[in-house]
Homo-oligomer: A and B are copies of this chain.
Amino acid sequence: MKCQDYSLNRQTERENLNLNPLQRGGVLPPESRQALYEFSDGYSVCDYCAGRLDEISKPSINSFLEDMARFIGADYARTVHGAREGKFAVMHALCRPGDTVVMDGNAHYTSHLAAERNGLNIVEVPSSDDPEYRINAEGYRETLDELNDMGEDVSLVLLTHVDGNYGNVTDAQAIGKVAHDAGIPFLLNCAYSMGRMPIDAKRWNVDFVVGSGHKSMAASGPIGILGVQEEWADLILKRSSLHQVKELEMLGCTSRGAPIATLMASLPHIIHRVNKWDVEVEKSRYFVSEMEKIGGVRQIGVRPTEHDLVRFETPFFHRIADKHPRKGFYLYEELKKRNIVGIKRGQTQWFKCSVYGYSQEQVHYIANSFAEIATKYKEMAD
């Protein structure tokens, strides 16, 4: 049989300035590209396995997991295939079908799916209204109190540390305390924070923490990190009754190949970069302030932004689309001419973007490009 053409190139996204927030934190540093070269084949990290991925000493996955646990403030760390698979594993080990999990109204769809696949009921803590969509500890306390009054047991409290719609950074420590005051274990989803900003699971009252290698830890997907505190290790990392050495929720081994090699190579890089998180936030705020100089462009979510993922409402650019001969495609095309990609083709009413990891000069260039396009078509926006 003959295969179709799969268009296996990514030149556009690799060679231009890519503003897609999903892609900013996963770019590999050179040392991780080297690791990918070394470990590209099949089961590459398994040459010296004696039965447990997390105990392999060549390459030193065991040392890496020790370092990773320390980096995030957890007693144990394991690689999983991504944040969602980590959340599923925690819920699967901890909850029974029909149990209730409480999560924020800004939770990622994968938190819903992890719960649904486990047959759990989801109760949401609502965010504040438009335009902030803020999640706070008081909301969690009220929701847990209400459930308690109704005699409803809650098995798990989940918080999205930084959500993927507004880039709102929540007060994990305060919400962790609310969960613990109610005697309920606390799972923190750090897909948009671990590897970008400092995480301290222990100090934040976090029992289980998940992160995403491809989203925020400069690794090839799919890979994630699951951190577990001592108190829960026996449950979450319980062994198979049939194969004593194997951890059941990991199905024995998880990241058997290239992505773990890239994450290992990237750990020094991400340890370094999280210490410069305040510089990234400053860059992001500068970018927002420049964008908002275009009338009819407004950052929504908590202000000033505390994260690189920012969401703009852009009625100005949308009005142009009504009159422009290329309709909504003009914005994508004008940006592309300026070597900027990552805003979806045809999208002009609002968009999410990020300048994470770009230099101050690049951020200036990007903001200036939007301003240029705004000036070029401003008559169409009237």
Binding site for B on A (CB under 8 A): 1, 3-11, 13-14, 20, 22-23, 25-28, 32-36, 38-44, 46-47, 58-61, 63-64, 66-67, 70-71, 81-82, 84-85, 88, 92, 109-110, 112-114, 116-117, 122, 213-215, 218-223, 240-243, 246, 248-249, 251-252, 254-259, 261-262, 264-265, 267-268, 271
A220 in contact with B40 given A8-B265, A112-B240, A242-B109 (CB within 8 Å): yes
Known A14-B41, A220-B40, A221-B42; contact A63-B27, beta-carbon cutoff 8 A? no
Contact of A252 among B39, B44, B109 (CB under 8 A): B109
- Which of B6, B32, B41, B81 is within 8 Å of A81, CB to CB? B81
Residues on B with C-beta less than 8 A from A254 are 81, 222
Q: How many copies does the complex hold?
A: 2
Q: Shortest Cβ distance from A118 into chain B, in angstroms?
A: 10
Is the pair A59, B23 in contact by a Cβ cutoff of 8 Å? no
User: Are B248 and A3 in touch, CB under 8 angstroms?
Assistant: no
* Beta-carbon contact of A222 and B109 below 8 Å: no
Candidate in A6, A23, A34, A254 with the most chain B CB atoms within 10 angstroms: A6
Contact A215 B82, beta carbon cutoff 8 Å: no
Interchain CB contact under 8 A, B109 and A243:
yes
In angstroms, Cα B1 to Cα A63, docked, is 13
CA distance A85 to B222 in the complex (A): 14
Q: Which residue of B lies closest to A33 (CB)?
A: B40
Inside 8 A of A255's CB, which chain B residues have their CB? Answer: 221-222
Residue of B with least CB distance to A214: B42
13 contacts across the A-B interface (CB closer than 8 A): A1-B67, A10-B47, A26-B44, A28-B40, A28-B42, A40-B220, A41-B220, A44-B221, A81-B254, A109-B252, A117-B249, A117-B251, A258-B258
Top 9 A-B residue pairs of the complex, sorted by shortest distance between their CB atoms? A26-B42, A221-B257, A4-B63, A42-B214, A220-B258, A6-B60, A221-B256, A10-B38, A84-B251
A246 touches B113 (CB 8 A): yes
Minimum distance in angstroms from A209 CB to a CB of chain B: 17
